[in-house]
Amino acid sequence: MSLLEEKPRFSGFLELEASNQPLLPGSKTLRRRGHTVRHHLYRLLPYVLALLATTNIVTLAFVFAKHPCPSSSPIYPKLEGVDETYRWTQFTSTLFSQSQYVARPSPEVDSLWKDLGAEIDDILIPAHYGKAADVSPGHAFVEFEPGNPSFVVSVEAFHQLHCLNLLRKSLFYNADYYKGLGVKEFRNHGTMLQMHIDHCLDMLRERLMCTADAGILPSFYTIYNTTTPDFKRDHHCRDYGSLQAWGRAAKALPKGMVLSPPEGAFVLEHVP
- Which residues contribute to the site for ligand NAG (CB under 6 A)? 224-225
**191/225 with CB nearer ligand NAG:** 225
CB of 228 to ligand NAG, least distance (A): 14
CB of 225 to ligand NAG, least distance (A): 4
**72/228 with CB nearer ligand NAG:** 228
CB of 224 to ligand NAG, least distance (A): 5
CB of 220 to ligand NAG, least distance (A): 15
Residue nearest to ligand NAG (CB): 225
**223/271 with CB nearer ligand NAG:** 223
**172/224 with CB nearer ligand NAG:** 224
Cα 93 → chain centroid:
24
**92/226 with CB nearer ligand NAG:** 226
CB of 219 to ligand NAG, least distance (A): 16
